[in-house]
Chains A and B, each alone.
Chain A
Amino acid sequence: MRLRRLSLRSLLRGAAICAALTVPGKAAFAQGQDRAPQYFQSDIQYGAQIFTSQCTSCHGENGDMIPGVNFRAGQFKRVISDNDLRFTITNGVPGTAMQPFTFGASELTGIVSYLRNMGSFNARGLLMGNATRGKVLFDGAGNCVSCHAINGRGPRVAPDLGDIGTLRTAELIHRTLLDPAGSMLPANRPVHAVTRDGTVINGRRLNEDTYTVQLIDEQEHLVSLTKKDLREYTVLKSTPMPSYKDKFSSQELADLEAYLLSLRGVK
């Protein structure tokens, strides 16, 4: 297998984009809590798209076609918490027309966010992203492929984004594209180490404990370091990933987000 040679800058840029895009997409609330403390606009919009394509045939555009259920009014039959909503959507309701849906975590977050905010959500003016156009941007003008792989095709120093649509919510992807440094999550911070003999190692951290750190370096080597053997060790909070806030129009951002959300891994 031939290893691609990459510059530090491109590696770090890749790591940074990964940083922004590959943190596990856990729900914004923990098990047992009733509602997320905050629902984000991008998640609500994503949920609106899914609702329109998957749910309106039974529930209607206003979510009020099932007797006893009115989503816009916040009226449910058997739902108390957001987890209840997720459970009902995932498992269906036996004996009714409500079938189980196999949505990923990001989709569930979107649908729940939309259902909780349907009463105040205004679909007019909603930018619908086009994943096909988004892929063109990802491969071309966005230059994302210089750092990110998709299902094994591309460099390894940054996380593979092939399943990013299942790992990250729409809101987190949106925020990352606009402000990659501000939204970089701790799990994705690049590291810089200098050994006692002066060897410099830059890379993306894969694991760390009190005594050791494991990383993939610029040459795509898996490296395990013992901290006591290091002269310097820094977890960086900056990122070379560019912001796309001024680079792309709102429609282009929506397209790119739609493409990233469409990446669900190898089936």
Chain B
Amino acid sequence: MVNLGTNSGALERVREFETAKGVAEPKTVLSASRSGLGLVFWLSFGWVAFMILLAIFASLLPLKNPNFQDYTAVNIGPSVHHLLGTDDLGRDLLARIIFGSRVSLIIGFASVGLALLVGGFFGLLAGYRGGWVDSILNAGSLVVLAFPALLAILVIEAFWTPRTLLKLTIIFAVAGAPSLFRVIRATTLSFATREFVVAARTMGATTRRIIFRELLPNVIPAAVSFALIGVAVAIILEGSLAFLGLSISLPTASLGNIINEGVQNNNLQLNAFIALWPSLYIFILLTALNLMADRLRTRFDVRAGNL
């Protein structure tokens, strides 16, 4: 994820550096001391799951219509009627945020899922088979990773109009697949020469069986940990694009475009809540995703290897 305009990839380099220097990873105020995934992981997991459920069942919940403009209740603060208040057009902010989170969550999870499928398949293949397959895929992934992804996505979106959820998901998946490919390839490489794989091959197991029954289960923890960071990166990216007015077209609410509306036309002065609530939502969601990924990584001792 080195070039997605965020720092998650840089953190991985920092960890490699710390390992090289023989310095233990720093502890936080929350660091779990015992084995197992710890309370922090399950709290984060619970929060993310809760947010996903809210987004899925948004239309069944007793929420107001996110696009209904009530001109008698413009810019009011949090109250019993509107738990998070209303925006400058009198729309209920709680409803807008929950419906808006659908865009972020769908793009985040769908694009990374797609990238995981493609990157994972080729990563397993390249890591296990090696040879020219590996050389070509590796060179290809390096070329894509050398691209400034934010720039590429911006420009492709500018030309590939109109912008739909599907197109955005595909663009994000293409941008994310090479990093997941490299992680899974590196992890596969570290398992491919282990005894149990050699034993399986000696017993005459097919390549397909070795890849799916021997290697895949061992690669999954690393893949999931990196995929979670990938989801966080995709959500940041979608938010940034929506903030720039280049995500899904209006009036569909998304977290980024609510923030964008919140900073326009003096809205920050008049009603800071419009920008504040979705910012807070994104911050908590991303922290939860990062903490989950971090605990999984520590628990299963996942290393990026020679990324």
- Chains A and B come from one and the same complex: no
